[in-house]
């Protein structure tokens, strides 16, 4: 099948979705291709869920610019898209006098980058922000925040879709060619052809491959895996700010740290380990053990029963293991290859920067097409950023009176209602996997990890939508939940 668009975005991570949403403000025909069965299946939803302030990046770098600007754009964006965000701020803590110059340097750097409200504070003030924290001195960055990476990525995609961008899920790009006068031909593994005048490479871990397919060599992505633990909500409220150790010279990252999530869990991690396979999201015994030991040191209240899950995300690094560190983002409107906007190596702070990157990219699209604002653009996504369980008893009662499906709890740990499950299944993108449901409705993200709710969700989807056992997939077509019926349906017992 042939599809024709003016602009084609390759990759449905948070950056691709932000570009789609930014483009949807204009009268332009655009589509997004995603190889997975939903958006946000890669690093976009496998991270700490932190918005960075932007003091860590070298002044004048692209990373510094888009991080600071992206962070500043988030309040309005989250309000419109119904995305949970908490401006809890961050303490970068120095343990002794030796750390002071580092922190002072970070403050200066941040000031130069335009980071708002940075202050170097002492022990007393630090402990007012986070009771119990131990340190000599700290850099407080009030714009450091936590956010729901799931809601942000999905919200951007849904709003883009509502404003006219098409989403083609399950379309893995196989080859790209440019034909004189006709523009780009993008062929997918499913055998479909997408024609476009401008293509945007937002393929994350595969950005170097897509770049090469479009005729731009010279980039390499080195996948670098980070492992995490997720802690039980029992510890919710323990952390009132983000706490990071002051960076040490020659250390690869920030070291293990704890991050509260907007949904009330705490994450331990991430680690950094270069791997060969770009999609091997395995967690490994030695790293898990190390995370448990270091997590315990940072938060002695952690009990064995608080570890409810582990997961991994993979960074798209441009620096090989022997070099380490980071290279600046590549965001380029290639002059040598007309109509190819190339984004390579958007690792952290990609989530934070996504709305600013989207603005930059759309400006570049304007070099190729005339962009006319669409007066019918609606920035607001319907719904609520709060789950039913987060409402007051009175608000809950109102909803239950309006729709009895709110009165039926399907996921007992997270107290997710049948209505929320139905809404998630009826999502506008048409994503239908168990992970899609989880990212939208939080079902199975609690302490029983779906032992209770997955059988109930299966029953619900079978009874209300006629799903057969083979229709249930975890993430993709290669991850069926079941092999079929035990006995033929409708037979005698």
Partner 1 sequence: MSIKTIHRDVVVIGGGPAGLAAAIAASEAGCKDVLLIERDRILGGILNQCIHDGFGLHEFKEALSGPEYAARFINRLPGLGIEVMTGTIVLSLSPERILEVSTRGAIQYIQAGAVVLAMGCRERTRGAISIPGQRPSGVYTAGAAQNFINMENIMVGKNVCILGSGDIGLIMARRMTLEGAHVEAVFEILPYSSGLPRNIQQCLNDYNIPLFLNTTVTEIRGNGRLEGVKVAQVGKDRAPIPETERYIPCDTLLLSVGLIPENELTRDAGVAMDPITGGALVDDTFMTSVPGIFSCGNVLHVHDLADWVSVEARDAGRFAAAYVHEKREASRQRITIKEGDGVRYVLPQSVSGERDFILSLRVTAPWRNRAVVVRSGDKKVRRKKIVRLHPAEMIRINIGKDALAAAGGSSLEVSVE
Could you list the residues that contact partner 1 (CB under 8 A)? 230, 234, 279-285, 288, 292, 305, 307-311, 389, 393-394, 396-398, 400-401, 404-405, 407-409, 412-413, 415, 434, 447-452, 454-455, 458-459, 462, 469, 473-487, 489
Minimum distance from residue 403 beta carbon to partner 1 (Å):
10
**Choice between 181 and 478, CB closer to partner 1:** 478
Report how far apart, in Å, the C-alpha atoms of 353 and of each of 18, 105, 192, 294 are. Answer: 10, 22, 32, 29
Minimum distance from residue 401 beta carbon to partner 1 (Å):
6
Residues in the chain: 493
Q: Tokens for 158?
A: 């849904």
**Choice between 309 and 368, CB closer to partner 1:** 309
**Which residue from 26, 374, 61 is spatially nearest to 198, judged by alpha carbons?**
26
Minimum distance from residue 493 beta carbon to partner 1 (Å):
9
Q: Are 329 and 66 in contact (CB under 8 A)?
A: yes
**Which residue from 189, 144, 196, 197 is spatially nearest to 171, judged by alpha carbons?**
189
Look up 168 and say whether it is catalytic: no
Using DSSP, state whether 342 is helix, strand or coil. Answer: strand
Residue with tokens 């965000």: 85
Minimum distance from residue 468 beta carbon to partner 1 (Å):
9
**Choice between 253 and 407, CB closer to partner 1:** 407
Minimum distance from residue 281 beta carbon to partner 1 (Å):
6
Query: 463 in the Ramachandran plot: left (φ > 0), alpha (ψ -120 to 50) or beta?
Result: alpha
**Choice between 21 and 225, CB closer to partner 1:** 225
Q: Are 439 and 446 in contact (CB under 8 A)?
A: no
**Choice between 43 and 369, CB closer to partner 1:** 43
The number of beta carbons lying within 10 Å of the beta carbon of residue 93 is 23
**DSSP of 186-228, one letter per residue?**
EEETTS-EEEESEEEE--GGGHHHHHHHTT------EEEEEEE
Catalytic residue among 52, 140, 168, 257: 52
Active site residues: 52
């Amino acid at each position: 099948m042939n599809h024709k668009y003016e602009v084609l975005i390759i990759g449905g991570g948070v950056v691709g979705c932000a570009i789609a949403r930014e483009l949807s403000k204009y009268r332009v025909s655009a589509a997004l291709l995603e190889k997975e069965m939903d958006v946000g299946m890669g690093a976009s939803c496998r991270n700490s869920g932190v918005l960075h302030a932007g003091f860590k990046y070298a002044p004048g770098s692209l990373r510094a610019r888009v991080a600071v600007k992206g962070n500043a754009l988030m309040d309005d964006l989250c309000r419109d898209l119904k995305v949970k965000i908490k401006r809890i701020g961050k303490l970068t803590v120095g343990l002794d006098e030796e750390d002071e110059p580092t922190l002072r340097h970070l403050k200066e750097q941040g000031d130069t980058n335009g980071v708002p409200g940075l202050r170097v504070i002492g022990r007393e003030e630090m402990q007012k922000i986070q009771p119990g924290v131990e340190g000599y001195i700290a850099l407080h960055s009030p714009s450091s925040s936590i956010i729901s990476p799931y809601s942000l990525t999905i919200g951007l995609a849904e709003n883009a879709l509502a404003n006219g961008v098409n989403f083609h899920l399950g379309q893995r790009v196989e080859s790209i060619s440019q034909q004189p006068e006709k523009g780009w031909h993008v062929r997918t593994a499913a055998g479909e052809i997408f024609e476009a005048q401008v293509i945007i490479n937002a393929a994350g871990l595969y950005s170097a491959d897509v770049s090469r397919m479009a005729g731009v060599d010279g980039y390499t992505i080195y996948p670098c895996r980070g492992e995490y633990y997720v802690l039980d909500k029992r510890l919710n409220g323990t952390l009132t700010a983000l706490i990071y150790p002051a960076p040490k010279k020659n250390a690869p990252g920030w070291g293990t740290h704890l991050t509260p999530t907007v949904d009330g869990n705490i994450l331990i991690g991430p680690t950094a380990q270069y791997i060969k396979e770009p999609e091997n999201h395995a967690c490994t015994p030695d790293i898990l053990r190390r995370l448990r030991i270091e997590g315990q040191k940072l938060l002695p209240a952690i009990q064995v029963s608080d570890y409810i899950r582990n997961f991994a995300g993979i960074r798209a690094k441009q620096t090989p293991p022997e070099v380490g560190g980071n290279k600046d983002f590549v965001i380029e409107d290639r002059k040598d290859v007309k109509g190819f906007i190339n984004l390579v190596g958007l690792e952290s702070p990609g989530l934070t920067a996504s709305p600013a990157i989207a603005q930059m990219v759309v400006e570049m699209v304007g070099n190729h097409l005339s962009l006319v604002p669409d007066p019918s653009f609606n920035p607001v996504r319907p719904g609520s950023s709060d789950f039913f369980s987060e409402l007051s008893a009175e608000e809950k009662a109102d909803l239950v009176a309006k729709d009895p499906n709110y009165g039926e709890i399907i996921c007992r740990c997270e107290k997710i209602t049948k209505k929320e499950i139905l809404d998630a299944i009826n999502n506008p993108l048409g994503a239908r996997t168990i992970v899609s449901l989880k990212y939208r409705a939080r079902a199975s993200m609690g302490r029983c990890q779906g032992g209770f709710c997955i059988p109930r969700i299966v029953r619900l989807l079978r009874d209300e939508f006629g799903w057969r056992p083979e229709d249930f997939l975890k993430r993709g077509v290669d991850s069926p939940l079941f092999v079929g019926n035990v006995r033929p349906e409708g037979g005698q017992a």
